[in-house]
Copies of this chain bind each other. A is one copy, B any other.
């Protein structure tokens, strides 16, 4: 007979650590890094180790509960939203947000794509300056030119 336990998450166990990490990733739209998650989660579970955070981010994403974001520079980031969607990253403050346009992938890319690859994932990352960073920060002469579309 099957044990009545609430501590199961599909194929894997839901330890307190794993639950907390999952909640942390699900509960923000900021696409945090392992390190950020570690620091936040440590408030509630002071003995948790960074290795545990990495291990669980790995198992959670392998089992489809969260998404790894392997784009761009800097440390890897994680996303509680597992639906395929594109991101926009600020090249100055390195913030990472969802693109407002949903289904960008399906709408444009996949239909047009002719390839003999067996396609598993489409990654789209836009890079630029967020509104805040446009104002204050970067001198014109070291600022990259914006991309233009010919009319």
Contacts and interface: CB of A to CB of B under 8 A. Distances in A.
A11 interface: no
A123 B123 contact: yes
Interface in A68-101: 70-73, 84, 88, 90-91, 99-101
B101 A117 contact: no
A149 B111 contact: yes
A2 interface: no
Interface in A110-151: 110-131, 134, 144-147, 149-150
Nearest to A145: B120
A57 to B, nearest CB: 14
Given A70-B72, A73-B70, A117 B129 contact: yes
A69 to B, nearest CB: 11
A88 B122 CA distance: 9
A34 to B, nearest CB: 15
Contacts of A12: none
13 contacts: A71-B72, A84-B147, A91-B120, A100-B115, A108-B108, A108-B109, A109-B124, A118-B128, A121-B128, A122-B124, A122-B147, A123-B125, A123-B126
Interface of A: 70-73, 84, 88, 90-91, 99-101, 104-131, 134, 144-147, 149-150
Given A71-B71, A123-B124, 12 more contacts: A70-B72, A71-B125, A91-B121, A99-B115, A101-B114, A110-B147, A118-B128, A120-B144, A121-B147, A122-B126, A123-B123, A123-B127
